[in-house]
Amino acid sequence: MAYQARNYDHLLGTPGFSDALLKNHFTLYQGYVTNTNKVLDETAALAADGKAGTPSFAEMTRRLGWEWNGMRLHEYYFGNMAKGGKALDAGSKLAQKIAAEFGSHDAWEKRFRAVGAMRGIGWTALYQDAATGQLMNMWIGEHDGGHPAGGTLLLIMDVFEHAFMLDYGLKRADYIEAFFKAIDWSVVASRFDKAATLSL
């Protein structure tokens, strides 16, 4: 079954994000969806032809992690944004968990922003360990590297240059500020609530 690109046009007009930037980003995301389908089709065809042991099959299979994660991480990213953002309910279980583990929401945010401001390209993510429930701010250097095994992705921020340079040039901190104003915390809290019912 082929993956279909989701439509995120409702984010157009988000303060701090030009429509040109968002449209370019949507196009890039759509490319990951297209390439995920191509890789899946090509590996299936190679396997059907008895070529599963070939270098071509091996390289295409390795490529799948990059393309598929590129698709899915963008869906999480656009999915945890809203035009104007939505504040975190201070009484929510997620707000209480963040405060308990980091001391306060502000302390967590300072650390998350610091991860996002690190040199390099990639993603900044808030994960929850399914085994212990611990929250962790993680750096994902490439789409397919840096994910904690079994971790539940709660919040993701794209810090590849394509996510901000058209609007902000090298001012990544200004982009991070705009991103925080666009976070839809109701979506993040919903991810956390669903994760609470899962365990190893």
In a domain, 11, yes or no: no
CA distance 108 to 70: 26
pLDDT value at residue 34: 98
Q: What letter does residue 86 receive in the DSSP assignment? A: B
3-state secondary structure of 184: strand
What pLDDT is recorded for position 200? 47
pLDDT at 3: 96
Tell me, yes or no, whether 74 and 145 share the same domain: no
Q: Do 98 and 73 sit in the same domain of this protein?
A: no
Of all helices (H) and strands (E), which one includes residue 15? none
Which of 37, 44, 43, 36 has its CA nearest to residue 59? 43
Task: Identify the CA nearest to 200 among candidates 153, 145, 133.
Answer: 133
Asked if residues 154 and 128 have their Cβ atoms less than 8 Å apart, the reply is yes
The CATH number assigned to the domain holding 103 equals 3.55.40.20
Q: Are residues 154 and 74 in the same domain?
A: no
Structure tokens that stand for 191 in this block = 């991810």
| pLDDT for the residue numbered 199 | 56
Establish if 49 belongs to a structural domain: yes
Cite the beta strand spans of the chain per DSSP E: 123-129, 135-140, 151-158
Look at residue 5 and tell me if it is in a domain: no
pTM: 0.94
Q: Please tell me the distance from the alpha carbon of residue 159 to that of residue 53, in angstroms, as a whole number.
A: 36
Residue 161 lies in a domain: yes
Within a domain: residue 131? Answer: yes
Identify the CATH number of the domain in which residue 38 sits: 1.10.287
Domain that holds residue 174: 93-195
Together in a domain, 147 and 181: yes
Q: Is residue 6 part of a domain?
A: no
* Pairwise CA distance, residues 74 & 29, whole Å: 6
Question: Do 180 and 135 reside in the same domain of the chain?
Answer: yes
CA distance between the termini of the chain: 28
Mark whether 34 and 103 lie in a shared domain: no
Q: Which of 57, 79, 101 is the last residue of a domain?
A: 79
- Mean pLDDT of each 10-residue bin along the chain, 200 residues long: 95 98 98 97 95 94 94 98 96 97 97 96 95 94 86 96 96 97 98 75
Residue 186 lies in a domain: yes
